[in-house]
Structure 1
Amino acid sequence: MSTLLIIIIAATALFSYFGFNNHQLFEKFKFNVGAIRGNKEYVRLISAGFLHGDLMHLLFNMMTLYFFGPIVLQAFGEIGFLAVYFGSILLGNLFSLYLYQNQSWYSAIGASGGVSGILFASIAMIPDLGIYFFFIPIP
């Protein structure tokens, strides 16, 4: 297991945990159209990827990253992994910013964009990869 992957999972878990317990921190770093467009708080385009709504949201994203991250790390190396992961978070949030540009109240959180990027990069690298859903033994 890569140290980089463990660091990203641990940082996301810690940041999410602090967000669960600190409403001000959560509000300051979540993706919010009004804050990004009006106040130019661009850090939210990435920081929202470290926040999660609840423990199940966090666990599902981090488990998926844990299982599929090594495939991308092996195929692209650490720099490629970081480019796919953070690039997917950033591009996903930029797309949301475009879609909801006139809805300043719109907010979002989670690493789902980055995790999806890793998942689909894994599938692209190993197209016949069997994926099991919730321990159902049918790939």
Structure 2
Amino acid sequence: MEFSITLAIIVATSLVSWLGFNNEALKGALVLWPPAVTRRHEYHRFLGYGVVHADFMHLLFNMFTLFFFGRLMEGFYAQYLGAMGFLWFYLSALVVSALPSYLKHRDDPDYVTLGASGAVSAVLFAFILLRPWETLLIYFIPVPAIIFAALYTGYSVYMNHRQADRINHSAHLAGAAYGVLFTVLMEPKVVSHFLAELMNPGG
């Protein structure tokens, strides 16, 4: 069977997350705790926070999404960046999606964030550039990808402004924006492809 970077990421993330569910020391060493970066220069946390999750449902949702959209994007990036292109994209998305949280909370000892949601958002939004009318099942409800993108972005902006829950909405937004920007800079023709697809919903 052909090696899949997407599956390798899912296996590694699931394994570390599973170990972290019962090992607070391991989880604590990997989560993005901004003061540890600012004061102790623990830069590994910009990647480590993406392989640990709060609970099984958090992990399942992220890995389920990555499984369905990562494999197609893996092949797409390989055309331009080589066999490891998707891995570099995914890892860089983890870093970029964490930056707004880090910059805002760099000296806040009470703030931590974890999970692969930012990088998964980058993968999903890059996919939407290629197939905006693809049907996504959101809680078993079929929704066109472009409609989901609009609703997801609006909801994330609203909730990020309210700050009424513990979900890192800024990571979702930064990851989504990075997925779009990275893909467009890598292949500018994606823009014309996206617009053509957008004007042809039945195609």
Q: TM-score by structure 1 length?
A: 0.92
Structure 1 position 138, deviation (Å): 4.8
For 2:13 and 2:66, the matched residues in 1 are separated by 11
Deviations 1:30-53 (A, max 9, x none): 100111101100000100000000
Tell me if 1:97 matches 2:102: yes
4+ residue segments displaced more than 4 Å: none
Q: Aligned Cα RMSD in Å? A: 1.5
What are the equivalent positions in structure 2 for 1:41-52 lying under 5 Å apart? 41-52=42-53
For 1:43 and 1:109, the matched residues in 2 are separated by 13
Alignment-mate amino acid for residue 26 of structure 1: K
- Tell me what 1:65 maps to: 66
- The unaligned stretches of length 5 or more in structure 2 are 145-203
- Tell me what 2:22 maps to: 21
- Tell me what 1:8 maps to: 9
For 2:138 and 2:33, the matched residues in 1 are separated by 32
Tell me if 1:135 matches 2:153: no
Alignment-mate amino acid for residue 137 of structure 2: Y
Q: Which moved more, 1:91-100 or 1:9-18?
A: 91-100
SS state of the match for residue 52, structure 1?
A: coil
Alignment-mate amino acid for residue 28 of structure 1: A
Distance 1:55 1:26, change over 3 A: same
Q: Which moved more, 1:71-80 or 1:7-16?
A: 71-80
For 1:28 and 1:55, the matched residues in 2 are separated by 19
For 1:126 and 1:119, the matched residues in 2 are separated by 10
Instruction: Check conservation: 1:33, 1:105, Cα contact below 8 A.
Output: no
SS state of the match for residue 86, structure 2?
A: helix
Instruction: Check conservation: 1:46, 1:89, Cα contact below 8 A.
Output: yes
Structure 1 position 95, deviation (Å): 2.0
For 1:29 and 1:125, the matched residues in 2 are separated by 33
Alignment-mate amino acid for residue 124 of structure 2: L
Q: TM-score by structure 2 length?
A: 0.64
- The unaligned stretches of length 5 or more in structure 1 are none
Count of aligned pairs = 139
For 1:106 and 1:10, the matched residues in 2 are separated by 28
Alignment-mate amino acid for residue 17 of structure 1: W
For 1:56 and 1:93, the matched residues in 2 are separated by 21
- Tell me what 2:77 maps to: 76
For 1:51 and 1:98, the matched residues in 2 are separated by 21
- State percent identity of aligned pairs: 37
- Tell me what 2:188 maps to: none
